[in-house]
Amino acid sequence: KERRHLFWGPDDGWQISPVCNNDEGAFCMSVTNNLEGVWRSMPPDQEEDCGTIQYVFKDEEEYFRKLQPISYQRSQPRNDPERKAFSLTGNLRVVEEKDDEEMEEQEENSMLELWDSTLKWNDGNHESLLFSNKTHVVSFLSLNPKELKEKMHPGLLSHLEQNGINVGESLDVISYNFHNLLGALTGVFKTPEEATQILGGQYCLTGDNLLKMLAIYARLRCGVPVVLMGECGCGKTMLFRFLCEWMGVKLFVMDVHGGTSERDIIQLFLDAEEYLNNGNTKVFVFLDEINTCSHMGLMNEIICHRSLYGKRLLDGVHVLAALNPYRTRPVRTQTPGLVYQLHENVVPDPMAQLVY
């Protein structure tokens, strides 16, 4: 069921929002600091002089749920050529009458532009300095070592070389030392034989994967959200599995899909918290293909704000996520079997033209 949160907003007024902060906007906001005063719905050019709030206790919840929602039609729109009419329903939702085809095209284009404008992994060189006092490892890592070497001062290069530190070595050349590099990164050290047995020896640790693990691990330690985006089968899930098994950390995996419910998501994090309460200090929760989920607001709260319906996640819970890029489905004149839309004059779903 949908939740509503009432709190004092940053605009010096009360507001009702999907989550208990202002990150996802508001359903409505009070004009004054009086809860029983005038409220305005979204967008802010609509003021409602008949919106009401009724406080309901827990034992009265079932009674009020059976009541029919009240519709208000007394809102007065200002002169705005893009909006023709507004109405405020029981959940204070503004309905705009716009050209359906134009809205569908704009939403499709915005999703595709978001993917096209995203900085891809190979667009950067990912220069990194990795060192460990325990194993005396000092390594300069990057996708293009030659480019990294050209950026460094000649005096610094000369000093490093005099101390036996090579800069500009290809990741393929130092592949024999990957287990030492990953040990210096995570603090968990393994022999080459032990490293090759992880995941049954079916995972090939390459230089590119090592850099991605370095980027993931550094972000996790700094509290930065980690979301991998890539095509199906490119190795996102296996990358997380290998890193967790290397560190000996429990990994909870949820394969998100259109039928994933809020209860499923909540239960996953309850299981993770129970695992921590049994004497463990760290657990990873991996949400795969999150953009197929119908609860993106909840996913955003979990990944970006580390909370679940306003309750902060335990510090030992580390959230990882992955998603697939959007693609436009080719238009077909005839579709065999079941069709998406049977009736005319039905508002089209902009997501229907996208696959991921």
Query: What pLDDT, in 10s, does the model give residues 322-348?
Result: 988 766 666 555 555 544 454 555 555
How confident is the model over 95-152, as pLDDT tens digits? 344 455 666 666 666 666 766 777 788 888 888 888 887 777 788 889 888 888 888 8
Which tokens sit at 296?
């993106």
Quick check: 336 and 302 in contact, CB under 8 A? no
CATH code for the domain defined by 225-355: 3.40.50.300
Give SS3 for 149. Answer: helix
Measured between its terminal Cα atoms, the distance across the chain in Å is: 26
Per-position b or e across 208-232, b if 16+ CB within 10 A of its CB: ebbbbbbbbbeebeeeeebbbbeee
User: 């070595």: which residue's tokens?
Assistant: 169
Residues pairing with 141 in the sheet = 128
d(CA 268, CA 253): 9
- Helix (H), strand (E) at residue 249: none
Q: What is the pLDDT, as a whole number, of residue 344?
A: 52
- DSSP string across 78-136: -S-TT-----B-TT--B-----HHHHHHHHHHHHHHHHHTSPPGGGS---EEEEETTTT
Confidence of residue 72 (pLDDT cuts 50, 70, 90): very low
More confident site: 217 or 76 = 217
What are the residue boundaries of the structural domains of the chain, listed by start?
1-20+122-224, 225-355
- Contacts of range 97-106, beta carbons closer than 8 Å, 24 or more positions apart: 100/347, 100/348, 101/348, 103/350, 104/348, 104/349, 104/350, 104/353, 105/350
Confidence of residue 168 (pLDDT cuts 50, 70, 90): confident
Which tokens sit at 283?
């657990």
Q: Residues near 25 by Cβ (< 8 Å), separated by ≥ 6?
A: 17, 18, 42
